[in-house]
Amino acid sequence: MVNPILVTGAAGRIGAVGRTVTELLLKQGKAVRAMVRTEDERAQALRALGAEVVVGNLLDLDSMHRIIAGCETMYFSMSISDAYLAATINTAAVAKYHGVKAFINMSQMTVSQMSVTETTPSPQHKLQWLSEQALNWSGLPVVHVRPTVFLEGFFLTLTSDSVRQSNQIRLPFGQGKTSPIGAEDVARVVATLLENPQPHIGKIYHLTGPQSENMDFFAQEYSKALGRTITYQDIPVEPWRDELLKRGWPVHVVHHLATMTDLHRAGRFDRLSDDVLMLTGQRPLSVQDFVRKNAAAFTTSVRAA
pLDDT in tens, the chain (305 residues): 689 999 999 987 645 899 999 999 999 999 999 999 999 999 999 999 999 999 999 999 999 999 999 999 999 999 999 999 999 999 999 999 999 999 999 999 999 999 999 999 999 999 999 999 999 999 999 999 999 999 999 999 999 999 999 999 999 999 999 999 999 999 999 999 999 999 999 999 999 999 999 999 999 999 999 999 999 999 999 999 999 999 999 999 999 999 999 999 999 999 999 999 999 999 999 999 999 999 999 998 644 33
Q: How would you classify the pairing of strands 204-207 and 142-147? A: parallel
Boundary (domain end) residue, out of 207, 222, 253: 207
Q: Are 196 and 60 in the same domain?
A: yes
Q: Are 203 and 264 in the same domain?
A: no
Q: Are 196 and 125 in the same domain?
A: yes
Q: Are 15 and 141 in the same domain?
A: yes
Q: Are 104 and 117 in the same domain?
A: yes
Q: Are 27 and 95 in the same domain?
A: yes
Q: Are 47 and 100 in the same domain?
A: yes
Q: Are 214 and 200 in the same domain?
A: no
Q: Are 45 and 94 in the same domain?
A: yes
Q: Are 169 and 23 in the same domain?
A: no
- The answer to whether residue 280 sits within a structural domain is no
The CATH number of whichever domain residue 79 belongs to comes to 3.40.50.720
pTM of the predicted protein model: 0.94
Distance between CA 69 and CA 57 in Å, rounded?
15
- The answer to whether residue 51 sits within a structural domain is yes
Range of the domain at 47: 5-149+181-207
Q: Are 138 and 157 in the same domain?
A: no
- The answer to whether residue 135 sits within a structural domain is yes
